[in-house]
Amino acid sequence: MSSLRQISLAAIAAALVAMGAGAASAQQTDGDGKGGRVFVPNQAPAKEGDRMAAGYVAPRLSFGQPDLSGVWSNASNTTMTRPGKFKSLVLSNEEEAKARAENPSNIRQATDDNQKTEDGLLDGKDLASGRGYNAFWIDPGNTYANVKGTWRTSWIVDPPNGQVPFSEEGRKVMATTGRGSRGRGSGYDNPEERGAGERCIVGFGGSGGPPMMNVLYNNNYQIIQAPDHVVIVVEMNHDARIIPLNAKHKPTALNPYLGDSIGWWEGDTLVVETINVNPEGGSQVRLTPAGKITERFTRYSDSQVLYEFEVNDPALYSQVWKGEVGMNKVDGQVYEYACHEGNHGLIGILEGGRAADRKGVDIREKGDRDEG
Protein backbone atom coordinates (compact mmCIF):
# COMPACT_ATOMS: atom_id res chain seq x y z
CA MET A 1 0.00 0.00 0.00
CA SER A 2 1.12 3.62 0.31
CA SER A 3 3.67 2.97 3.06
CA LEU A 4 6.35 0.40 2.41
CA ARG A 5 6.31 -2.88 4.26
CA GLN A 6 8.82 -5.20 5.88
CA ILE A 7 8.70 -8.60 4.18
CA SER A 8 8.90 -11.81 6.17
CA LEU A 9 10.87 -14.14 3.90
CA ALA A 10 11.24 -17.87 3.98
CA ALA A 11 14.55 -19.23 5.18
CA ILE A 12 15.91 -19.58 1.66
CA ALA A 13 15.32 -15.94 0.86
CA ALA A 14 16.79 -14.85 4.19
CA ALA A 15 19.91 -16.82 3.42
CA LEU A 16 20.19 -15.19 0.03
CA VAL A 17 19.97 -11.74 1.57
CA ALA A 18 23.08 -12.41 3.60
CA MET A 19 24.96 -13.32 0.44
CA GLY A 20 24.07 -10.20 -1.50
CA ALA A 21 25.23 -6.60 -1.31
CA GLY A 22 23.14 -3.54 -0.52
CA ALA A 23 21.47 -1.51 -3.24
CA ALA A 24 22.69 1.92 -4.24
CA SER A 25 21.41 4.85 -2.21
CA ALA A 26 18.53 7.04 -3.32
CA GLN A 27 19.26 10.09 -5.46
CA GLN A 28 15.99 11.93 -5.00
CA THR A 29 12.43 11.08 -4.05
CA ASP A 30 9.51 11.55 -6.38
CA GLY A 31 7.82 13.96 -4.03
CA ASP A 32 4.49 12.13 -3.83
CA GLY A 33 4.88 11.32 -0.15
CA LYS A 34 4.17 7.65 -0.80
CA GLY A 35 7.06 5.75 0.61
CA GLY A 36 10.26 7.18 -0.84
CA ARG A 37 10.21 5.99 -4.45
CA VAL A 38 13.16 7.40 -6.31
CA PHE A 39 11.94 8.91 -9.55
CA VAL A 40 14.65 10.49 -11.69
CA PRO A 41 13.88 10.86 -15.40
CA ASN A 42 16.81 9.03 -16.88
CA GLN A 43 19.39 10.06 -19.36
CA ALA A 44 18.90 8.33 -22.69
CA PRO A 45 21.21 5.47 -23.66
CA ALA A 46 24.18 6.20 -25.86
CA LYS A 47 22.46 4.40 -28.74
CA GLU A 48 18.98 3.01 -29.20
CA GLY A 49 19.69 -0.66 -28.49
CA ASP A 50 21.66 -0.07 -25.27
CA ARG A 51 20.22 -1.25 -21.96
CA MET A 52 22.08 1.27 -19.78
CA ALA A 53 22.11 5.04 -19.53
CA ALA A 54 24.94 6.65 -21.45
CA GLY A 55 28.18 6.28 -19.51
CA TYR A 56 26.63 4.25 -16.69
CA VAL A 57 28.55 1.32 -15.18
CA ALA A 58 26.51 -1.03 -13.01
CA PRO A 59 27.87 -1.78 -9.53
CA ARG A 60 28.93 -5.36 -8.82
CA LEU A 61 28.25 -7.73 -5.96
CA SER A 62 31.11 -9.46 -4.16
CA PHE A 63 30.64 -12.58 -6.32
CA GLY A 64 30.75 -10.62 -9.57
CA GLN A 65 27.13 -10.26 -10.68
CA PRO A 66 25.73 -6.83 -11.60
CA ASP A 67 23.86 -5.48 -8.58
CA LEU A 68 20.09 -5.64 -9.10
CA SER A 69 19.42 -6.07 -5.38
CA GLY A 70 17.08 -3.83 -3.44
CA VAL A 71 13.47 -2.71 -3.62
CA TRP A 72 12.02 -1.45 -6.90
CA SER A 73 8.61 -0.17 -7.97
CA ASN A 74 6.72 -0.13 -11.28
CA ALA A 75 3.98 2.17 -9.94
CA SER A 76 2.92 4.35 -12.85
CA ASN A 77 0.03 5.75 -14.89
CA THR A 78 1.42 3.67 -17.75
CA THR A 79 -0.29 0.33 -18.42
CA MET A 80 0.52 -2.70 -20.53
CA THR A 81 -1.55 -1.63 -23.54
CA ARG A 82 -1.80 1.87 -25.01
CA PRO A 83 -5.03 3.81 -24.41
CA GLY A 84 -6.77 4.97 -27.59
CA LYS A 85 -6.18 8.65 -26.85
CA PHE A 86 -2.43 8.19 -27.38
CA LYS A 87 -1.15 7.84 -30.92
CA SER A 88 2.49 7.01 -30.19
CA LEU A 89 4.68 5.23 -27.66
CA VAL A 90 6.62 8.29 -26.52
CA LEU A 91 5.35 11.56 -25.02
CA SER A 92 7.20 14.86 -24.88
CA ASN A 93 7.63 16.55 -21.50
CA GLU A 94 4.71 18.84 -22.27
CA GLU A 95 2.49 15.98 -23.44
CA GLU A 96 3.30 13.92 -20.36
CA ALA A 97 2.50 16.81 -18.03
CA LYS A 98 -0.87 17.35 -19.74
CA ALA A 99 -1.71 13.62 -19.73
CA ARG A 100 -0.71 13.35 -16.09
CA ALA A 101 -2.93 16.27 -15.11
CA GLU A 102 -5.88 14.72 -16.95
CA ASN A 103 -5.37 11.15 -15.73
CA PRO A 104 -8.46 10.03 -13.76
CA SER A 105 -6.34 8.21 -11.18
CA ASN A 106 -4.30 11.33 -10.47
CA ILE A 107 -7.41 13.49 -10.24
CA ARG A 108 -8.91 11.02 -7.81
CA GLN A 109 -5.81 11.05 -5.63
CA ALA A 110 -5.63 14.85 -5.66
CA THR A 111 -9.29 15.35 -4.74
CA ASP A 112 -9.99 12.32 -2.57
CA ASP A 113 -6.76 11.89 -0.64
CA ASN A 114 -5.36 13.27 2.61
CA GLN A 115 -8.63 12.87 4.44
CA LYS A 116 -8.76 12.93 8.21
CA THR A 117 -11.01 10.99 10.55
CA GLU A 118 -13.20 14.05 11.07
CA ASP A 119 -13.57 14.31 7.28
CA GLY A 120 -15.49 11.03 7.22
CA LEU A 121 -12.65 8.75 6.19
CA LEU A 122 -13.79 5.99 8.50
CA ASP A 123 -17.58 6.37 8.55
CA GLY A 124 -18.19 4.58 5.24
CA LYS A 125 -20.15 7.39 3.59
CA ASP A 126 -17.99 7.20 0.47
CA LEU A 127 -19.01 3.58 -0.16
CA ALA A 128 -22.18 4.80 -1.89
CA SER A 129 -19.95 5.86 -4.78
CA GLY A 130 -19.44 2.19 -5.57
CA ARG A 131 -15.76 2.00 -4.70
CA GLY A 132 -14.15 -0.47 -2.35
CA TYR A 133 -11.39 2.02 -1.42
CA ASN A 134 -11.01 5.76 -1.28
CA ALA A 135 -7.72 7.27 -2.43
CA PHE A 136 -6.17 7.08 1.04
CA TRP A 137 -5.63 3.36 0.46
CA ILE A 138 -4.28 3.28 -3.08
CA ASP A 139 -0.85 3.95 -4.57
CA PRO A 140 -0.95 3.46 -8.35
CA GLY A 141 1.73 6.05 -9.13
CA ASN A 142 1.13 9.59 -10.35
CA THR A 143 3.31 10.01 -13.44
CA TYR A 144 3.69 8.16 -16.70
CA ALA A 145 6.66 5.84 -16.89
CA ASN A 146 10.05 7.15 -17.85
CA VAL A 147 11.86 4.32 -19.64
CA LYS A 148 15.27 4.80 -21.23
CA GLY A 149 14.92 8.56 -20.94
CA THR A 150 11.47 8.83 -22.57
CA TRP A 151 7.90 9.07 -21.27
CA ARG A 152 5.89 5.99 -22.27
CA THR A 153 2.19 5.51 -23.02
CA SER A 154 2.33 1.70 -22.82
CA TRP A 155 4.65 -1.01 -21.64
CA ILE A 156 4.23 -2.79 -24.97
CA VAL A 157 6.77 -1.53 -27.51
CA ASP A 158 6.25 -4.14 -30.23
CA PRO A 159 3.88 -4.24 -32.04
CA PRO A 160 4.13 -0.47 -32.49
CA ASN A 161 0.42 0.09 -31.84
CA GLY A 162 0.91 -0.96 -28.22
CA GLN A 163 -1.77 -3.68 -28.32
CA VAL A 164 -1.66 -7.41 -27.63
CA PRO A 165 -1.49 -9.06 -31.08
CA PHE A 166 -4.01 -11.88 -30.77
CA SER A 167 -4.39 -13.96 -33.91
CA GLU A 168 -7.85 -14.89 -35.15
CA GLU A 169 -7.27 -18.44 -33.98
CA GLY A 170 -6.00 -17.11 -30.66
CA ARG A 171 -9.21 -15.14 -30.12
CA LYS A 172 -11.20 -18.31 -30.65
CA VAL A 173 -9.05 -20.14 -28.11
CA MET A 174 -9.49 -17.33 -25.60
CA ALA A 175 -13.25 -17.33 -26.11
CA THR A 176 -13.43 -20.95 -25.01
CA THR A 177 -10.67 -21.12 -22.39
CA GLY A 178 -9.87 -17.57 -21.27
CA ARG A 179 -11.72 -14.92 -19.33
CA GLY A 180 -14.38 -14.76 -22.00
CA SER A 181 -15.58 -18.22 -21.03
CA ARG A 182 -17.56 -19.28 -18.00
CA GLY A 183 -14.78 -20.54 -15.75
CA ARG A 184 -13.14 -19.84 -12.41
CA GLY A 185 -14.58 -16.69 -10.87
CA SER A 186 -18.14 -17.40 -11.99
CA GLY A 187 -19.32 -19.72 -9.22
CA TYR A 188 -20.57 -19.03 -5.72
CA ASP A 189 -20.77 -22.51 -4.23
CA ASN A 190 -17.32 -22.79 -2.64
CA PRO A 191 -14.00 -20.92 -2.42
CA GLU A 192 -12.41 -23.07 -5.13
CA GLU A 193 -14.83 -21.61 -7.69
CA ARG A 194 -13.37 -18.14 -7.15
CA GLY A 195 -10.18 -16.79 -8.70
CA ALA A 196 -6.84 -17.26 -7.00
CA GLY A 197 -6.56 -13.52 -6.35
CA GLU A 198 -9.87 -13.39 -4.52
CA ARG A 199 -8.64 -16.29 -2.41
CA CYS A 200 -5.39 -14.45 -1.53
CA ILE A 201 -3.25 -17.08 -3.25
CA VAL A 202 -1.69 -14.74 -5.82
CA GLY A 203 -1.85 -11.01 -6.45
CA PHE A 204 -4.54 -9.31 -8.50
CA GLY A 205 -3.87 -7.97 -11.96
CA GLY A 206 -0.69 -9.84 -12.79
CA SER A 207 1.61 -8.23 -10.22
CA GLY A 208 3.53 -11.50 -9.87
CA GLY A 209 3.48 -12.09 -13.60
CA PRO A 210 5.17 -13.01 -15.64
CA PRO A 211 5.34 -10.35 -16.88
CA MET A 212 5.13 -8.39 -13.61
CA MET A 213 2.61 -5.59 -14.08
CA ASN A 214 1.58 -2.56 -12.01
CA VAL A 215 -1.81 -2.45 -10.31
CA LEU A 216 -3.84 -0.22 -7.97
CA TYR A 217 -1.39 -0.53 -5.08
CA ASN A 218 1.39 -2.77 -3.70
CA ASN A 219 3.65 -2.22 -6.72
CA ASN A 220 6.92 -3.03 -4.96
CA TYR A 221 9.42 -5.80 -5.66
CA GLN A 222 12.49 -6.89 -3.71
CA ILE A 223 15.30 -8.52 -5.68
CA ILE A 224 17.72 -10.76 -3.77
CA GLN A 225 20.76 -12.33 -5.45
CA ALA A 226 23.06 -15.28 -4.78
CA PRO A 227 25.58 -16.97 -7.07
CA ASP A 228 23.10 -19.68 -8.08
CA HIS A 229 19.65 -18.16 -7.44
CA VAL A 230 17.72 -14.93 -7.77
CA VAL A 231 14.61 -14.32 -5.67
CA ILE A 232 12.03 -11.70 -6.61
CA VAL A 233 9.65 -11.05 -3.73
CA VAL A 234 6.39 -9.58 -5.03
CA GLU A 235 4.60 -7.34 -2.52
CA MET A 236 1.22 -8.22 -4.01
CA ASN A 237 0.54 -10.99 -2.80
CA HIS A 238 3.83 -11.72 -1.00
CA ASP A 239 4.76 -14.21 -3.71
CA ALA A 240 8.43 -15.19 -3.96
CA ARG A 241 9.72 -16.08 -7.41
CA ILE A 242 12.69 -18.35 -6.65
CA ILE A 243 14.69 -18.53 -9.88
CA PRO A 244 17.57 -21.03 -10.16
CA LEU A 245 20.42 -19.96 -12.43
CA ASN A 246 21.91 -22.18 -15.14
CA ALA A 247 19.34 -24.86 -14.36
CA LYS A 248 16.86 -27.00 -16.27
CA HIS A 249 13.09 -26.62 -16.26
CA LYS A 250 11.10 -28.84 -13.92
CA PRO A 251 8.79 -31.62 -15.16
CA THR A 252 5.65 -30.27 -16.82
CA ALA A 253 3.53 -32.11 -14.26
CA LEU A 254 4.53 -29.32 -11.88
CA ASN A 255 2.39 -26.33 -12.79
CA PRO A 256 3.27 -23.39 -10.49
CA TYR A 257 0.92 -20.40 -10.34
CA LEU A 258 3.67 -18.09 -11.63
CA GLY A 259 5.17 -20.65 -13.96
CA ASP A 260 8.47 -22.53 -14.06
CA SER A 261 11.31 -20.00 -14.28
CA ILE A 262 15.04 -20.49 -14.83
CA GLY A 263 17.65 -17.79 -15.36
CA TRP A 264 21.12 -17.02 -16.64
CA TRP A 265 23.33 -13.99 -17.18
CA GLU A 266 24.08 -12.55 -20.60
CA GLY A 267 26.70 -9.90 -19.90
CA ASP A 268 25.12 -7.40 -17.47
CA THR A 269 21.57 -8.63 -18.14
CA LEU A 270 19.73 -11.26 -16.12
CA VAL A 271 17.60 -13.37 -18.49
CA VAL A 272 14.66 -15.32 -17.05
CA GLU A 273 12.74 -17.88 -19.12
CA THR A 274 9.32 -19.01 -17.89
CA ILE A 275 7.17 -21.84 -19.23
CA ASN A 276 4.24 -23.89 -17.97
CA VAL A 277 2.40 -20.92 -16.41
CA ASN A 278 -0.68 -21.97 -14.46
CA PRO A 279 -3.74 -20.29 -16.05
CA GLU A 280 -5.10 -19.63 -12.54
CA GLY A 281 -2.01 -17.63 -11.62
CA GLY A 282 -3.50 -14.23 -12.42
CA SER A 283 -1.06 -13.05 -15.10
CA GLN A 284 -2.29 -10.42 -17.55
CA VAL A 285 -0.76 -12.56 -20.30
CA ARG A 286 -2.38 -15.79 -21.44
CA LEU A 287 -0.30 -18.72 -22.66
CA THR A 288 -0.99 -22.16 -24.05
CA PRO A 289 1.14 -25.06 -22.74
CA ALA A 290 3.63 -24.39 -25.56
CA GLY A 291 4.00 -20.69 -24.75
CA LYS A 292 7.06 -19.00 -23.26
CA ILE A 293 7.83 -15.66 -21.61
CA THR A 294 11.36 -14.26 -21.52
CA GLU A 295 12.23 -11.45 -19.10
CA ARG A 296 15.41 -9.37 -18.97
CA PHE A 297 16.61 -7.30 -16.00
CA THR A 298 19.40 -4.73 -16.46
CA ARG A 299 20.62 -2.06 -14.04
CA TYR A 300 19.94 0.97 -16.22
CA SER A 301 21.08 3.59 -13.72
CA ASP A 302 21.46 4.04 -9.97
CA SER A 303 17.75 4.76 -9.73
CA GLN A 304 16.22 2.28 -12.19
CA VAL A 305 16.21 -1.30 -13.42
CA LEU A 306 15.19 -1.79 -17.04
CA TYR A 307 12.73 -4.68 -17.11
CA GLU A 308 11.97 -6.15 -20.54
CA PHE A 309 9.59 -8.96 -21.41
CA GLU A 310 8.92 -10.99 -24.54
CA VAL A 311 5.89 -13.24 -25.13
CA ASN A 312 6.12 -16.09 -27.62
CA ASP A 313 3.07 -18.29 -28.22
CA PRO A 314 2.13 -18.87 -31.90
CA ALA A 315 -1.08 -20.61 -30.85
CA LEU A 316 -2.46 -17.33 -29.49
CA TYR A 317 -0.53 -14.45 -31.01
CA SER A 318 0.27 -13.34 -34.54
CA GLN A 319 3.82 -12.38 -33.57
CA VAL A 320 6.29 -12.40 -30.71
CA TRP A 321 5.45 -9.27 -28.72
CA LYS A 322 7.62 -7.23 -26.38
CA GLY A 323 7.50 -4.68 -23.60
CA GLU A 324 9.80 -2.40 -21.61
CA VAL A 325 9.17 -1.31 -18.00
CA GLY A 326 11.04 1.12 -15.78
CA MET A 327 11.37 -0.19 -12.21
CA ASN A 328 12.29 2.73 -9.96
CA LYS A 329 14.36 2.43 -6.81
CA VAL A 330 12.56 2.52 -3.47
CA ASP A 331 14.41 4.07 -0.56
CA GLY A 332 12.89 1.85 2.10
CA GLN A 333 11.68 -1.62 2.94
CA VAL A 334 8.58 -3.63 2.14
CA TYR A 335 6.14 -4.99 4.69
CA GLU A 336 4.31 -8.27 4.27
CA TYR A 337 0.97 -8.02 2.50
CA ALA A 338 -1.31 -10.04 4.79
CA CYS A 339 -4.30 -10.71 2.55
CA HIS A 340 -5.90 -13.72 4.23
CA GLU A 341 -6.27 -12.02 7.61
CA GLY A 342 -8.76 -9.48 6.31
CA ASN A 343 -10.36 -11.35 3.43
CA HIS A 344 -13.96 -10.48 4.27
CA GLY A 345 -14.76 -10.13 0.57
CA LEU A 346 -14.62 -13.87 -0.05
CA ILE A 347 -16.99 -14.48 2.87
CA GLY A 348 -19.38 -11.90 1.44
CA ILE A 349 -19.25 -13.48 -2.02
CA LEU A 350 -20.20 -16.91 -0.68
CA GLU A 351 -22.86 -15.47 1.63
CA GLY A 352 -24.34 -13.70 -1.40
CA GLY A 353 -24.44 -17.05 -3.17
CA ARG A 354 -26.33 -18.64 -0.29
CA ALA A 355 -28.81 -15.74 -0.22
CA ALA A 356 -29.40 -16.27 -3.94
CA ASP A 357 -29.92 -19.98 -3.33
CA ARG A 358 -32.60 -19.25 -0.77
CA LYS A 359 -34.37 -17.05 -3.31
CA GLY A 360 -33.94 -19.61 -6.08
CA VAL A 361 -31.93 -17.11 -8.16
CA ASP A 362 -28.92 -17.94 -10.34
CA ILE A 363 -26.61 -14.95 -10.01
CA ARG A 364 -23.75 -16.23 -12.16
CA GLU A 365 -24.82 -14.25 -15.23
CA LYS A 366 -24.48 -10.98 -13.36
CA GLY A 367 -21.47 -12.01 -11.35
CA ASP A 368 -19.29 -13.70 -13.95
CA ARG A 369 -15.81 -12.35 -13.44
CA ASP A 370 -12.33 -13.53 -12.64
CA GLU A 371 -10.00 -11.35 -10.60
CA GLY A 372 -7.54 -14.17 -10.04
Q: pTM score, two decimals?
A: 0.83
Q: Residue 198 in contact with residue 132, Cβ under 8 Å?
A: no
What's the pLDDT tens digit per position in 98-135?
999 999 888 887 777 555 556 555 565 655 555 566 77
The answer to whether residues 7 and 222 touch, using CB atoms and an 8 Å cutoff, is yes
Answer whether 117's CB lies under 8 Å from 104's CB.
Answer: no
Rounded to the nearest angstrom, the gap between the alpha carbon of residue 44 and the centroid of all alpha carbons in its chain is 24
Q: Domain limits of the chain?
A: 11-123+134-367
Rounded distance between C-alpha atoms, residue 167 and residue 173, angstroms: 10
DSSP code of residue 278? -
Give pLDDT tens digits along the chain (372 positions): 434 433 333 333 433 333 333 332 222 334 444 456 666 666 888 888 899 999 999 999 999 999 999 999 999 999 999 999 999 999 999 999 999 999 988 888 777 755 555 655 556 565 555 556 677 778 899 999 999 999 999 999 999 999 999 999 999 998 887 544 444 566 788 888 888 888 888 888 889 989 999 999 999 999 999 999 999 999 988 889 999 999 999 998 888 999 999 999 999 999 999 999 988 888 899 999 999 999 999 999 999 999 999 999 999 999 999 999 999 999 988 888 888 777 888 888 899 889 989 999 887 755 444 443
Partnered with residue 266 across adjacent β-strands are: 269
Predicted local confidence at residue 48, as pLDDT: 84
